[in-house]
Amino acid sequence: MDCTFPPHSATRLLQLDQRKYSHNVRSQYHHSEHSQSAESWGYQHSRLEPLECRDLLVQNALFTGDLDMVQKYFTKSTAINLIIETRGDVLRWTSTKRGLWSLSYEQELTTPLHITASRGYTDCLRLLLLRGAAVDFAPGGKTALHEACAAASTDCVRLLLSSGADPEAVSEDGYRPLHLCKSSDSIECVRQLLQHGASANSQTEEESDTALHVASRHGLAEHVQLLLRHGAELEVKNKEGQTALNAACAQHHQPQDMDRYYRVCQLLVESGASINTVDRDQQHPLHLACKNANAQIAELLLARGANVNVMNYGGNTALHNILQVAAYKLEHRPELVVRALLNHGAVRIWPGSLLKVLRYCHTCPRVIEALVNSYTHVRVSEDWVEAVPVEVVQTSLLAAPGSLHSQDQPGGPAASGPVPATPAKCPAPVPAARL
C-alpha cells in the first residue's frame, strides 16, 4: 500500500500506526558497519516496512522548509521514517515494453530527514529528530549526514552529529561524509566530523581517495591544513597511484584559481610530501603541474629538487608537457613555466623540432621567445615564415637583439616589436631533446 495522501486527509493518514504498514511497499536499505540497527528505527526490518509518501502537500512542506506545516503533519504519533521518491539528475535509458526504449530521469529515494538536511532547514530537521526520525536511515544509499555535508550545511551537520549520526557511515557509492566536503564553505563541516571521530585517512571504496585527496583536488587549503593537523597521511595513494600532491597538481584549474592550488601544494610540500612520487602513468607532480601551466607550483617543485628531465610513461618530460598545452593556456602565462624549466636545467628542444613547436605554439610568442633565447645560434629557414603568421615572426621571433641569427645573415638586425620577456638564463649549452 503506497502512502498517497489526498489533500483533505494528509494529517490523518500520516498518523497511521506503524504496525499496520504493508509488506508491499518498495524500499531499500543501505547500512555501513557502523550504522544503527533496524530495531533502533522503531520497527523491525524483518516484519515492518516504512511507508512511502506521495502526498504533495507533505512533500511541499518539506522541500520549502515550512516549519508550521511540518509541525502540523509530523506530530508525535506520526510515522516519521517515510520514503519519498524523487526524480534524480541522471538520465537513463529505460524500457517498459520490449523493444521500446526511452530516456527518463533516474528515480531516487529520500526521506523527510534527508530533504531538510540537504537544504539547510535546521528547525525542521530538529523537529523531525525530536519526533524520532532515524538519524542513519539510508533508503537511497546515503544518510542525511552525507546530504548535509555535500550541501555544506554546517548547522545541520552539527545537529545530526549531536543526535548520534555516524561520522563514518559509508554510502552506497562508497563515500564517507568527509569525502563529500568539497567546497570552501564546508570547512566547519570537516571540523565537526573530525571532532566527532571521523577518520582523516578513510578511503573511498572505488577510487581509494582519502579526504586529503579530495581537499587537494578541489584546491581547499584550509581543509588540507585542518586534515594534516588531524593526522592525514601524505603518501597514501589512490587507485590512480596519486598522492594528495599528485592530485592537486593534476587538477585542471582556471587562472583565478592558480593561487589556491599553489597554496595547497605549498602546505603539502612543507609538511613533507614527496616531490618525485609517481602515479600509475609514471607522472611526477612536475609533469602534472606543467600540464596545467601553473608556474608557481612548477617553481615550488623545482626549488625543492624535482627532477626536471625525468620522463613519464609516454616519454614526455615536463618541458614537453607545457609545450603541448601552451596554446590552450595563454591566460596561465605558459612562458613562465618554460622559463622556469630551462633555468633549472631542462634539456632544450632539438633545434630540428623548433619548426614543429612554431606550428603548435605560434599563438604564444613569448614561449617561442623563451625557447629561442636559450640557444646562441638558431638556423632560420623559409619554413619558419610559412609555419606562423608573418606578424608573429616579425614582432616576436626577432624581438630580442642578438638572440636569434639567420644562417644567411649572421648577426642580422633585430626586428622592431614589443619589449621582450626576460629570456631564459642558460649559462652553458645543454644537450637538446627531440620533441
The model's pLDDT over 242-275, given as tens digits with 9 standing for 90+, comes to 999 999 999 999 999 999 999 999 999 999 999 9
Q: Which secondary-structure segment (H or E) carries 342?
A: helix 334-343
Q: Indicate the length of the chain as a whole number.
A: 435
Q: Which residue has the higher pLDDT, 419 or 305?
A: 305
- Look at strands 432-433 and 348-349 and give their pairing: parallel
- Per domain, the residue ranges of the chain are 1-93+103-173, 347-435
| 392 pLDDT more than 80 | no
Across the chain, mean pLDDT equals 81
Could you give the dihedral angle defined by the CA atoms of residues 178, 180, 184 and 189, in that order, rounded to the nearest 10 degrees?
Answer: -40
Grouping H, G, I as helix, E, B as strand and the rest as coil, residue 31 is coil
| 102 pLDDT more than 90 | no
Percentage of the chain lying above the pLDDT 70 cut? 74
| 2 pLDDT more than 50 | no
Residue 52 confidence (pLDDT): 87
Q: Is 231 left (phi over 0), alpha (psi -120 to 50) or beta?
A: left
Grouping H, G, I as helix, E, B as strand and the rest as coil, residue 16 is coil
What is the tens place of the pLDDT at every residue in 271-280?
A: 999 999 999 9
What is the tens place of the pLDDT at every residue in 9-68?
A: 343 334 333 333 333 333 333 333 333 333 333 333 333 467 888 889 999 999 999 999
What mean pLDDT is predicted for residues 207-222? Answer: 98
The CA-atom distances, in angstroms, between 82 and each of 40, 102, 379 are 15, 30, 77
Which region among 86-90, 159-163, 289-293 has the lowest average model confidence (pLDDT)?
A: 86-90
What mean pLDDT is predicted for residues 77-88? Answer: 82
What mean pLDDT is predicted for residues 365-370? Answer: 89
pLDDT band at residue 95 using 50, 70 and 90 as cut-offs? low
pLDDT band at residue 398 using 50, 70 and 90 as cut-offs? low
| 74 pLDDT more than 60 | yes
Residue 54 confidence (pLDDT): 86
What is the tens place of the pLDDT at every residue in 117-131?
A: 999 999 999 999 999
Residue 13 confidence (pLDDT): 37
Residue 79 confidence (pLDDT): 85
Going by C-alpha positions, the residue among 241, 238, 219, 208 that lies closest to residue 312 is 241
| 137 pLDDT more than 50 | yes
Close Cβ partners of 311 (under 8 Å, ≥ 6 residues apart): 282, 317
Q: Which residue has the higher pLDDT, 135 or 368?
A: 135
pLDDT band at residue 378 using 50, 70 and 90 as cut-offs? confident
What is the third-level CATH fold of 1-93+103-173? 1.25.40
Residue 266 confidence (pLDDT): 98
Residue 92 confidence (pLDDT): 59
Query: In the numeric block, which cell numbers belong to residue 90?
Result: 541522471
